[in-house]
Structure 1
Amino acid sequence: MLRRQYTVSVSAVAMLALALPQLAKAQEEMPPAIGDSDSASVAADGSGDIIVTATKRAESINSVGMSITAAGEDALAQAGVVDTGDLAKIVPGFNFTPSSYGVPVFTLRGIGFYDTSLAAPPAVSVYSDEAPLPYSILTTGASLDLERVEVLKGPQGTLYGQNSTGGAINYIAAKPEDVFGASSEISYGRFDALTLQGHVTGPLGEGVSARAAIRYTRGDDWQRSFTRRDGIGEKDLLVGRLLVDIEPADELRIRLNANGWRDRSDNQAYQFLRVLVNPAALPPELVNYPLAPDTNRAADWTPGFAYKRHNDYYQLSGRVEYTLGSNVDLVSITTWQELDRNGLVDADGTTLRANEYSTPGHLEIFSQELRLSGEAGRFFWLVGGNYQHEKIADSLAATFSNIGVPFDGVDTRNSTIVDTYAAFANLDYELDSGVTLHAGARYSDDRRRFEGCMYDNGSGQLAALLSAIATARNGRPITIPPGACASLDTNFLPDQFRDTLAEDNLSWRLGADYEVGAGKLVYVNVSRGYKSGAFPTSGATYGIQFRPATQESVLAFEAGFKLSLLDRQLQLNGAAFYYDYTDKQFRGKIIDPVLGALNALVNVPKSRVQGAELQIGWTPSDSFSLNLGGTYVGSRIKGSFQNFNAFGQPVDVGGEQFPLTPKWQLTGDAEYGTEIGSGLDAYVGGNFSYQSKQNSGLGALPDLDVDGYALFDARLGVRSHGRGWHAALFVRNLTDKNYVTFVSSASPTLLAQLRGQPRTFGVTIGFDY
């Protein structure tokens, strides 16, 4: 059945690619395609007259008084950005961490939220054409067929539908055109990695146009077992989108969006590091398990199991824009999305079933935003509100039959229902002196209803153990049946843990910017942002271990500049920032009396982040471009805070750097091109990214250190002028850097780590029609 799905997916893309030349021939008498009025060629450094919609209206990026990195379709393709995590290649201060169970974690300027739960609200919010993708796992297919991506740094609670303390990422899809256009592209590389993608666009009738895009990626195993002849790491991802634009009248515009993806890729295997507890309590085969060779590809996992993802996502959204009168617009954005997730993860890096997880889950989200905006003289104003309803079912079925505990696994299940109401307003006022003042506020009311329990996995072993504890505590026989809810309440009786987290907040932003000359802007901002509280998905012999982390807040100060110099050949963007945190959410530890040190959510009362960033874009000629960026982030937990490290030892984490927060991050990209014939250009280029040392958990244990590393990519290609064809050779991780991306302490018994991919290379050929 799986092989049949491969065949259908490849055939669908191949037929599209083969059909496009015939469609193009039929349209050869038509004029060149014209994009939307808001389309623009966007460079990664944000130089030139780039039009962005970060403030919910079209503006030159050099006129927006906040730190933004924008990148267009060409810049994303050249840098090899195919998913949200790849933005670390071009966005200074952005960091991506793979979590233990496959949920990605995004961080901006040191602000992120590491949690593996399906319902963990992120600190960096993501949108697709302003429609929210409230949880990081939903972003898998967001990079398909883009016009550009905009990354906003700092709290973004006043204009966007989700409160966030770290920032916001908005993907802007390439829009339907009112004349025919199409493209197709094929890439093939190491590990038999194959990517087929393409789009077709054009008119469907009077006032109606559409755009369909598809991308299919597959690849063979890239990891190898070092104890037997076996491999893991297959890719199998299909992404599609259909956009339909309808303009029944000059004052009315309707955009319908249907998109989704299907992921059947393997979960990455770990490398075993060492055990954390007394070796005498563990099986000798675990204590004496051999360490993996020091290479990117070496790993291990239990044979005979399919450690794959089985994820399906669908989204429908509708955007209606109606012009009510002179300079007044009404916008409605309605979104429904659904995710079915299942997968099996071997997180111990051995052939033993020492730390294995099944992660079934289901998510449904409905959201509605309605806003009015307009201009009145020197005022630009915006008011609106939104409502969001979420239903999340999350499970974590753990198997650990080789770690010395008196049962072989648990099955944690919970459900969360979230209702969020918000109202927001924003006002910009331009003074005669070239100064523009900004003020915005957003009131949010968030209610999370949670129900969860750790169940016996059917063997009866956990049920028998907790029945004995409940019987001893109550002085009467308590029997928990096999497969039943086993978490004990405050009366030491088995019961579901139920709780409601009701929170509200008022986020705001005040700012001023001054245009000191054409293409030259200085600005200052102060803002208050919030991130919602969250309940964990974790093993819990006692229901109180499901207690939530409450909402966090940050008071952010930022001053920056944007300078276009040397007749717009040189672009300098810089900013300094200071974030003062209250109740920052972290992934800490709690001591389970049966299972030992388990992951838990904690609030640290006081912490801060301070830093600076600089971006340089230099284009001295049409032949050469250079983009450089760097960010320094100094994070610190203030005062004293007691928690437990990965070993279950009590520690004071006061004064520590935030986990998963490198102090230094650098990015760079250079390209040189020259004309080699009539209508043809050749180019050579490359990019690099660097991040300094970081640690994977509270307690600053050396065992959880992730060393700093630099990655280099290279490209060499030929492209025709305008619409035509292009071909390129590419290399990712040119130096074959052997690097660690994450050290996991999810297990109370052992440590394991993930490594980045080795050098890959390939060729890309594409056609525009």
Structure 2
Amino acid sequence: MLCNETIRHGLLRSTTMLAGIGLMGAVGTAHAQAAQEQDAGIGDIIVTAQKRSQNLNDVGMSIAAIGSEQINTRGIARPEDLTKIVPSLTVTSDYRDTPVYTLRGVGFFEQTLAAAPTVSMYVDQVPLVFPILARGAALDLERLEVLKGPQGTTFGQNSTGGLINYIAAKPTADFSAGLDWGYARFGQFDANAFVSGPIATDVSIRVAGATTQGGAWQKSATRDDTLGDQNFTRGRVILDAQPSSDLKLSLMVNGWIDKGDTFAGRALEELTTTGNTISPEVGVSIAAQRLHPRDPRIADWTPGAALRHDDWFIQGSLRADYDLLSNVQLTSITAYSDFSRDSEVDGDGTSAADFVQKTSGRIRDFYQELRGSGEFLDKRMHLNAGVSYQRSKIADIYMQQQNPAGGGLQVSPFGAFLLDDPKGFTRISTLAAFASGDYQFSDRLQVEAGVRYTSSRTHYRGCTADGGDGGLANIVGSIQEQVLGRARTTAPGECITLNDAPDAVPADQFASGFYEDDLDQDNVSWRANLNWKPFADDKLLYANVSRGYKAGSFVMTGANLSSQLAPVRQERLTAYELGFKLPIAGRSVQINGAAFYYDYKGKQIRGRFVNIFGVLERLSNIPRSDILGAEGQVLLRPFEGLSASANATYVRSRVRSNPDGSDYTTFPSRAHDPAAAVPVTGMSFPFTPKFSASADIGYDWAVSDGLKASIGASLTYQGRSRATLTQADPGRPADTSLGARDTYNDPTFSLPAYTLLDLRASLASPDGKYTVSIFGRNVTNKFYATSTTLVLDTIVQYTGMPATYGIKLSVRY
């Protein structure tokens, strides 16, 4: 931590106090909506997907636009909540609590802080460069937009899967304020607030804050203990000024502080992948958890461990818009982000002190974008062009305590160790130039095109170090002397990663030390689109083709060999999409649909291989894979008060050829046995269900004395998927379900399908100033798993929230 950490924390706390000093509430529902509804029928849905305000029915791409009212009523507060409203999106994480976003099957399940995401994140077009920074983004929003498919020709970052743009509620010309208080099951308290209005001539401000406290919903299987209390506070300040008629300035500061509990998993099985001695307590804990196979609350963790976050994030940005001419505008966005993590997590899902990890890290990022945009030829042509520069410095460090209860982790005949210390330091600089435009040939035909050049350089320095007790250094040093035939170079507290580069000089071969490397890459992404309105109304047919890239990166893992830390190269995705947007029945019904095909080259994965040290991890590129899919949406507003929507997505993902040109990979649960290799070509991607869907219905009406009542229900369905890129385990009984022929043959790493039901009801005063609402989420208490992973000695499962219900009181001024 730097000495000015107190200043940062004070700024965030001050932001929250300005918003109401503890009287904080949910995002105001009385403010701008993405869907501007009329008394009957569906009004225009305004989006800014192409960095200007447009009717959604005029934009030829697949976009999910969600307004503030839907964000509020559906309880969208965390990244994983987005899956309720975007069926093709999955959000998952492991014990390090770093979210991973997968959109239409495009994802990268990698927990390294410096790993480039496939789905990029923004708040008001300001990038949140790495996924963990977006944990507090869903605060006081006007709407959010999810763009699907490769992006980069319009927005500041390149991506293969898509992007999510959180659009903050803006300062208002008149004074307004809102407070909400909520109390839910497990003792969870939520409070949010905002205040907005002018503070001087042509200057206005909006201050928003939120806090979530309590809510320990996990129960230990072996003792009277709970986990899951939240202590999460976030805030945002936006200051808008217009010094002249030609210049607009917007200063935004937002951030969050997390001091809540970390998450625990439930152990499903114990393994001996490296011949280690496992504590008997591991088996006792697993047996206790198996007594509650369908209870999502049951998990286990090391008693007395300080399993808590001490994380914070702050970002400041300045946007300037200058009208160079009546039809040409220059825009500058300057941003600086600072994130710190210092958390302790239990990774093995048991009460034994088998694997406890202290994670620390720091991200510092600078971003600058300068672009020009304009309208020409009687507004039939729009052009947008600019450059961006980004510089990031990331430190990612773990201290892992392994298996002291079992007498140490027995990795070889050379001894045991208790502590190891993987660490990685990354510097990334990216320079890009982009341009896009569209031309309206007629009222019915429009063409769009865009191109982007990106040059990126990454420098990495990392290793795994002895934890300071000398145990790991002694093991690796003995291997150097007795197996590799060279002098010992390891020492307590120093790097133990051995240089196995094929071009290493004899003096450096299998010597221990830091691994250091550079990754320089460039690419050209592009997009072409045709929009056609065949009738004299708003019905749109479109076709587009686009290409996007995801940057390569280095990995953070326990590395015995330097080859484990070698970078993964950039991946390339070429997307083809046909779609339609059809308002019908007097605009009381809106039907949207799209079909898409993704040609995937170099998909990045985290895999395993076996050598003299046992099972080791590294990043790899899959040479060829593809995705085929379709999605549909129906919006209904047949008469005043009633609204409904339904969304469904089908995605078929497929590996066409797997790493190293072979047809095999190693199954995690038998990774110690090279003979257990199984084919993966033809398999589907992890965390990519074939079918996903959501539906929502709501009805508003006036009751006696002018009171306004509302009820609603929503469903979320996620189809069956897998948590690893593996096929059947020959050592396990086959899954005889209908999905078995689709290679879902191992039930341990299969994530079963599930459906969640949410309910809500509210009563508001005639003037809308006061509202009381009740809600229930996952009201059927459906048990569902979000991830299953191998952690050292155990296969660990992570589950979703059980049934939760609560009440909320709202005040608006």
TM-score, length basis structure 1 = 0.94
Cα deviations across residues 654-706 of structure 1 (Å, max 9, x unaligned)? 11000111111010110112101344210110111011111111113512111
CA distance in 1, matches of 2:457, 2:791: 28
| Aligned pair partner of 1:645 in 660, 663, 667 | 667
1:735 aligned onto 2:780:
yes
Counterpart of 2:459? 449
Instruction: Kindly indicate whether the alpha-carbon contact (under 8 Å) linking 1:42 and 1:72 is maintained by their aligned counterparts in 2.
Output: no
- The answer to whether structure 1 residue 503 and structure 2 residue 499 are counterparts is no
* Rounded Cα–Cα distance in structure 1 between residues aligned with 2:195 and 2:667: 53
Residue aligning to 1:29: none
Contact 1:42 1:75 in 2 (8 A): no
Matched, 1:524 2:559: no
CA contact (8 A) 1:48 1:564 kept: no
Q: Partners in 2 of 1:39 and 1:722 — Cα distance?
A: 22
**Pick aligned residue for 2:199 from 204, 211, 217:** 204
User: Partner letter of residue 111 of structure 1?
Assistant: V
Q: Shift of the alpha carbon at 1:645?
A: 2.1
Which position in structure 1 is the counterpart of 2:800? 756
* Cα distance change on mapping 1:638 and 1:11 into 2, 3 Å: closer
The within-5 A match list for 1:409-448 is 409-432=419-442, 434-448=444-458
Give 1:630's aligned amino acid.
A
Q: What's the counterpart of residue 3 of structure 2?
A: none
> Does the aligned pair in 1 maintain the 2:575–2:596 contact within 8 Å?
yes
C-alpha distance after superposition, 1:294-333 (max 9, x if no partner): 2111111111111111111000000000000021000000
Alpha-carbon distance, 1:19 to partner = 10
Question: How many Å separate the matches in 2 of 1:444 and 1:670?
Answer: 44
Distance 2:275 2:163 in 1: 49
CA contact 2:749–2:788 (8 Å) conserved in 1: yes
Q: What is the CA–CA distance in structure 1 between the aligned matches of 2:467 and 2:447, rounded to whole Å? A: 59
Letter aligned with residue 624 of structure 1 = L
> Which of residues 257, 260, 265 is equivalent to 1:265?
260
Hey, what does 1:387 align to over in structure 2?
Answer: 389
Listed as ranges, the matches of 1:213-224 within 5 Å are 213-224=208-219
Residue 394 (structure 1) shift: 0.3
Deviation at residue 551 of structure 1 after TM alignment? 0.4
Secondary structure of 1:140's counterpart equals helix
Report Cα offsets for 1:253-303 as digits up to 9, x if no partner: 000001110001111111111123279753350345433122111111111
1:492 aligns with 2:510: yes
Q: TM-score, normalised by structure 2?
A: 0.89
Q: CA deviation at 1:171?
A: 0.6
Q: In structure 2, what is the Cα distance between the partners aligned to 1:408 and 1:220?
A: 33
Whether the aligned pair in 1 keeps the contact of 2:15 and 2:207 (CA below 8 Å) is no
State the alpha-carbon separation in 2 of the partners of residues 563 and 627 from structure 1: 14
* Distance in 2, Cα, partners of 1:204 & 1:385: 34
Distance 1:13 1:529 in 2: 39
Q: Does 1:290 align with 2:286?
A: yes
> How far off is 1:597 after superposition?
2.3
Pair 1:162-2:157 in alignment: yes
Query: 2:213 and 2:37 mapped to 1: Cα distance?
Result: 29
Q: Tell me the residue number matched to 1:571.
A: 590
**Structure 1's 765 and 409: CA in aligned 2 closer, same or farther, altered over 3 A?**
same
Structure 2 residue matching 1:290: 3-state secondary structure: helix
For 1:97 and 1:265, the matched residues in 2 are separated by 19
SS of 2:286's equivalent in the other structure is coil
Point out the more displaced range, 448-457 or 677-686. Answer: 677-686
Structure-2 separation of matches of 1:355 and 1:247: 55
Contact 1:34 1:178 in 2 (8 A): no
Query: Which of 51, 60, 63 is residue 56 of structure 1 equivalent to?
Result: 51
Change (3 A) 1:504 1:476: closer
Query: 2:710 corresponds to which residue?
Result: 683
Q: Does 1:89 align with 2:84?
A: yes
Matches within 5 A, 1:156-555: 156-277=151-272, 281-283=276-278, 285=280, 286-287=282-283, 289-291=285-287, 292=289, 293-294=292-293, 295-377=295-377, 378-401=380-403, 402=406, 403-405=409-411, 406-432=416-442, 434-472=444-482, 475=485, 477-490=487-500, 491-516=509-534, 517-555=536-574
Q: In the alignment, is the contact (CA less than 8 A) between 1:532 and 1:552 conserved in 2?
A: yes
**Distance in 2 (alpha carbons) for counterparts of 1:386 and 1:614:** 35
Give 3-state SS (helix, strand or coil) of 1:458's partner. Answer: coil
| Alpha-carbon distance in 2 for matches of 1:222, 1:6 | 27
User: Any residues of structure 2 matched to 1:83-122 within 5 Å, and which?
Assistant: 83-122=78-117
5+ long unaligned stretches in structure 1? 22-32
User: Aligned to 1:464, what secondary structure does the other structure show?
Assistant: helix
CA 1:724–1:540 in structure 2 vs 1: closer, same or farther (change >3 Å)?
same
Coordinate RMSD, CA, aligned:
2.4
Shift of 1:16: 4.7
Matches within 5 A, 1:36-51: 41=36, 48-51=43-46
Alignment counterpart, residue 602 of structure 2, candidates 558, 562, 583:
583
Separation in 1, partners of 2:775, 2:382: 46
Matches within 5 A, 1:664-743: 664-701=691-728, 702=746, 703-720=748-765, 723-743=768-788
Secondary structure of 2:193's match?
A: strand
- In structure 2, relative to structure 1, the CA distance for the partners of 1:198 and 1:488 (3 Å cut) is same
Alpha-carbon distance in 2 for matches of 1:728, 1:592: 59
Structure 1 counterpart of 2:774, one-letter code: L
Equivalent position SS for 1:745: strand
Contact 1:117-1:394 at 8 Å conserved across structures: yes
8 Å contact kept, 1:735–1:759: yes
Indicate the residue corresponding to 1:27 in structure 2.
none
Q: Which residue of 1 aligns with 2:683?
A: 656
Stretch of structure 1 that moved more, 441-450 or 78-87: 78-87
Q: Is the 8 A contact 2:15 2:236 kept in 1?
A: no
How many residue pairs get aligned? The number is 749
- Conservation of the 8 A alpha-carbon contact between 2:330 and 2:370: yes
Match of 2:80, SS state, is: helix
Structure 1 residues 96, 280: closer, same or farther in 2, change over 3 A? closer
Q: Distance in 1 between matches of 2:791 and 2:157?
A: 28
Structure 1 residues 211-238: Cα deviation after superposition (integer angstroms, max 9, x where no partner) = 0000011113211111111111111100
Q: Which residue type is aligned with residue 691 of structure 1?
A: Q
Distance 1:409 1:623, change over 3 A: same
2:711 and 2:445 map into 1 onto residues whose CA distance is 42
Aligned to 2:625: 607
Partner Cα separation in structure 2 for residue 42 and residue 442 of structure 1:
37
1:766 matched to which residue of 2?
Answer: 810
Per the alignment, do residues 652 and 761 of structure 1 end up closer, same or farther by CA in structure 2, a change over 3 Å counting? same
Q: Name the SS for the 2:82 alignment partner.
A: helix
Letter in 1 for 2:562: G
**Aligned-pair identity (%):** 39
Flag the 1:221–1:96 CA change in 2: closer, same or farther, 3 A.
Answer: same
- Other-structure match for 1:634: 652
Q: Distance in 2 between matches of 1:345 and 1:592?
A: 29
Distance 1:526 1:11, change over 3 A: closer
Cα shift readout 1:52-95 (whole Å, capped 9, x = no counterpart): 10001110011100000101111111111112221111112111
